[in-house]
Amino acid sequence: MPTRADETIEALLLEKRRFKPPKSFAARASVSTSGVYRKADRDFEKFWAGFAKELEWMKPWRKVLDWKPPRAKWFVGGKLNASVNCVDRHARGPRANKAALIWEGEPGDQRTITYRELLREVSKFANVLKSLGVKKGDRVTLYMPMIPELPIAMLGCARIGAIHSVVFGGFSAESLRDRINDQGAKILVTADGGWRRGNVVPLKKISDEALTDTPTIERMIVVKRTGGEVSWRAGRDVWWSELMCDASANCPPEKMDSEDPLYILYTSGTTGKPKGILHTTAGYLLGTYATSKWVFDLKDEDVYWCTADIGWVTGHSYVVYGPLANGATCLMYEGAPDTPGRDRFWDLIERHGVTILYTAPTAIRAFMKWGTEWPEKHDLSSLRLLGSVGEPINPEAWIWYQKFIGGGRCPVVDTWWQTETGMIMITPLPGVTTTRPGSATQAFPGVRAEILDQNGRKVEVGGGYLAITRPWPAMLRTIWRDDERYVKTYWSKWNKDTYFPGDGAKRDKDGYFWLLGRVDDVMNVAGHRIGTMEVESALVDHPAVAEAAVVGVNDEIKGTAIAAFVILKEKSQTGTAATGGNGLRSELSAHVAKKIGAIAKPDRLFFTADLPKTRSGKIMRRLLRDIAEGRVLGDTTTLADPAVVSSLKSQYEDKEG
Ligand code: 7RM
């Protein structure tokens, strides 16, 4: 019986359309010949060193790479500062009065910040941190809306060598607290609130709740964004604007070692506990710099827009570090794509003259559903390049994007990468690569990707596990305070020099990669990475729940939706489970939102008396997926109790039907 992955790949391979780089695009592209692949492959260290020379160093490196698997050190002995590379060097030269950030709030307010202004703001904030006693290596948590103060705070941390850790504004107080405590952060930076779909996300209130049990936090810095009422703890809480107006705009940057930490960013894994991915200075900066330059073909006159929230890695690498290291003009937007109307994105593109758009398949599928009348209201002719990231893009969405947003003239780059890789790894080069809808095509020059089978044997053509078989500059260095998990999760599936990303993929006879999604218990819900175990732990934390199993199921818009199967405790079961329990269903949903955040709420929740398990007690998630997606059931011969499935299935059909 063919598996789900097989079916997907069969469908993808029927996709015969190919798109050559438009001649006019290739003629102006910074890379337009495939020779770069061979050259980079011949000596990848030399290739990366070439890019590294385009950064500004305080002390040159002695050695490009020191690789003792699974430990890499890049640009050994070098000293540099990320904020200098993203800001100072542009502010000093002809880009001084160029817009670094063009920001628009959801209510329509706007700010433009030049490189010169950005340098003043970053320096001031760095001095603010210093005045509060923050030192090199200290952790600073940022829980903020999409406002310019967020990149300013990140770069301010980088300037003095403090390690920032951005927590996405959609996470709950408990999630924020866990992350603060895992890092041992001294300072939390937040805002009174942020705008989302016409409502205020009460970030200060959530922060107050999070800080009830965070012994390491000394201060909370609050940006006034919405002007709403907030409660205040004197001695701990302090307004951003008050600190900034007293701060000097001159802050000499810290000389950072290439391998000094730059930031921690949490991401979901296969356990209930998210992993604090640690990125360091030189390699990360270089990787995001190089890929921004080549994949997005960044030019000085571009207006570049990556729609990701900075709370996710895409925002770190491709709203902040990569484009700013290139001296680009970046559009930053605070709110939702359908506020006030479903044409907000197209309106933004038209008014700001956006030339490069980088967004997620889940957004593209929502736009498709809303219909072409929304983009058609606007002049999108400024666009010259389109990008996609976060999950596999189905060919239909790819074609729609290319046609209705790109007007048929823009190359589309489908970019595969992860929080852990820090930088884009598999992607077309827009002036070189012939693209195929649904394929991320090839590894970026200097990167080596392969398909391996379970035993680590290379699959030349066909499906298997994606593997990265050579170190790359922006690779994660460890998991914060859990180095053992670093080795075990990423470098132990095969040999310890081979990185396991956790994705299934197939390679076709032209050597193109087709990414098929996660092979572990991690879901990709509307482009957000969420662990099934995280949601399960949140569910069983509720007093009425005895056991829970969570699976990702196909969803037209979200890519993956969350389906939860819940066994209630005997005592509280009476009346609730039998009647379908809508009251309890929403209570459990609210509980998950409280534990993790609204993004992790189950889309479908079923009460059941039992779960399908193997004789060794492992939950058979494949069967649950089959049930939730209404498919004919696969092999049930390994089940301990086959009756469970038919009872679940009939319950499911009752509820859904
Ligand atoms: C950048 C980001 C990583 C996971 C990864 C994949 C999936 C991301 C693509 C993709 C197919 C793509 N970081 N993924 N990009 N799958 N094609 N172009 O998303 O850490 O949040 O998620 O996302 O499964 O492992 S992430």
Domains in the chain (CATH in brackets) are 23-435 (3.40.50.12780), 522-656 (3.30.300.30)
Angle at 363 between CA 359 and CA 367, to 5 degrees: 120
What atom in ligand 1 is closest to the CA of residue 317? 1
> Is residue 386 very low, low, confident or very high in pLDDT (cuts 50, 70, 90)?
very high
Structure confidence at residue 652 (pLDDT): 62
Sign of CA dihedral 208, 213, 214, 218: positive
Q: Could you tell me which residues are beta bridge partners of residue 430?
A: none
572 pLDDT more than 70: no
Structure confidence at residue 641 (pLDDT): 73
Distance from C-alpha of 558 to C-alpha of 527, rounded to nearest angstrom: 7
**Does the C-beta of 427 come closer than 6 Å to ligand 1?**
no
**Does the C-beta of 362 come closer than 6 Å to ligand 1?**
no
Mutate to test the pocket of ligand 1, among 266, 503, 519, 558 (most ligand atoms within 8 A of CB): 503
**Does the C-beta of 390 come closer than 6 Å to ligand 1?**
yes
Residue 475, Cβ density class (10 Å: 0-12 exposed, 13-18 middle, ≥19 buried): buried
Distance from C-alpha of 256 to C-alpha of 56, rounded to nearest angstrom: 12
542 pLDDT more than 50: yes
> Is residue 415 very low, low, confident or very high in pLDDT (cuts 50, 70, 90)?
very high
**Does the C-beta of 335 come closer than 6 Å to ligand 1?**
no
Q: Taking residues 109-123, what's their average pLDDT?
A: 98
Predicted confidence (pLDDT) per residue in 471-480, tens digit? 999 999 999 9
Structure confidence at residue 13 (pLDDT): 64
Strands 99-104, 110-114: pairing kind: antiparallel
Distance from C-alpha of 652 to C-alpha of 542, rounded to nearest angstrom: 22
> Is residue 609 very low, low, confident or very high in pLDDT (cuts 50, 70, 90)?
confident
Q: Where are the beta strands (DSSP E) in 119-182?
A: 139-143, 163-166
**Is the model more confident about 496 or about 644?**
496
Which one-letter amino acid corresponds to residue 387?
G
Structure confidence at residue 638 (pLDDT): 65
Here the tokens at position 211 are: 């800080």
Structure confidence at residue 656 (pLDDT): 45
Q: Taking residues 633-640, what's their average pLDDT?
A: 65
> Is residue 527 very low, low, confident or very high in pLDDT (cuts 50, 70, 90)?
confident
Structure confidence at residue 610 (pLDDT): 86
Mutate to test the pocket of ligand 1, among 365, 416, 419 (most ligand atoms within 8 A of CB): 416
What atom in ligand 1 is closest to the CA of residue 415? 18
Q: Taking residues 361-389, what's their average pLDDT?
A: 97
621 pLDDT more than 80: yes
Predicted confidence (pLDDT) per residue in 421-457, tens digit? 999 999 999 999 999 999 999 999 999 999 999 999 9
624 pLDDT more than 80: yes
387 C-alpha to ligand 1 centroid (Å): 13
Contact 439, 513 (CB under 8 A): yes
Compute the mean pLDDT over every residue in the chain, rounded to the nearest whole number: 94
Task: State how far Cα 454 lies from the chain centre.
Answer: 27
Structure confidence at residue 444 (pLDDT): 98
Distance from C-alpha of 276 to C-alpha of 282, rounded to nearest angstrom: 19
Structure confidence at residue 570 (pLDDT): 81
584 pLDDT more than 70: yes
**Does the C-beta of 426 come closer than 6 Å to ligand 1?**
no
The pTM of the full predicted model, rounded to 2 decimals, is: 0.94
Question: Which residue minimizes the CA distance to atom 4 of ligand 1?
Answer: 418
The DSSP secondary-structure symbol of 641 reads -
Distance from C-alpha of 409 to C-alpha of 553, rounded to nearest angstrom: 34
